Structure 1
Amino acid sequence: MKKLSMADFQLKGNSYYNFGNGLKVNNDRLTNELVIEFLKVNPERIKLFSKYPGNWKDLVGITPKSKILNSLTKWFK
């Protein structure tokens, strides 16, 4: 996996967001590892970010249904 810099994700505005367990984060305290875990809980949260890497779904572990279907089709041929 590609190592990301702290600037790969950026929250909209510079407000504090509750990332759970009482952890409040803004762009100054944001890490990629924290964002990835945050998005794993609910990928729809990507809407809170104004900047993110193009491969964020891969980083979070989201596999598009088409990829799953293609691999199943190959398996059963």
Structure 2
Amino acid sequence: MSEIPGHIPAGTDLTGVRWLRSSYSTGANNCVETARPPAGRWAGLLAVRDSKNPAGAALLFSPESWTCFTAGVRRP
């Protein structure tokens, strides 16, 4: 089994990836954006980046890891 990379380096070409901003964003670019790379090395993973720095690195999560993370954040 190949190791899943932990981040996509800054400057990596993600042309064609559709980034979505959180519906909780205030419009002041102080939120995160997510994308699902459709093909290539990162297909099937969820990319997450800082909306204040769209040219910066993105973190990668498996769908299961992202679901666990968001469920944990929602818990009181």
Question: Which protein is richer in helix relative to its size?
Answer: 1
TM-score (normalizing by structure 2): 0.25
TM-score (normalizing by structure 1): 0.25
Which structure is larger by alpha-carbon Rg, 1 or 2? 1
Higher relative contact order (CA 8 A, sep 6+): 1
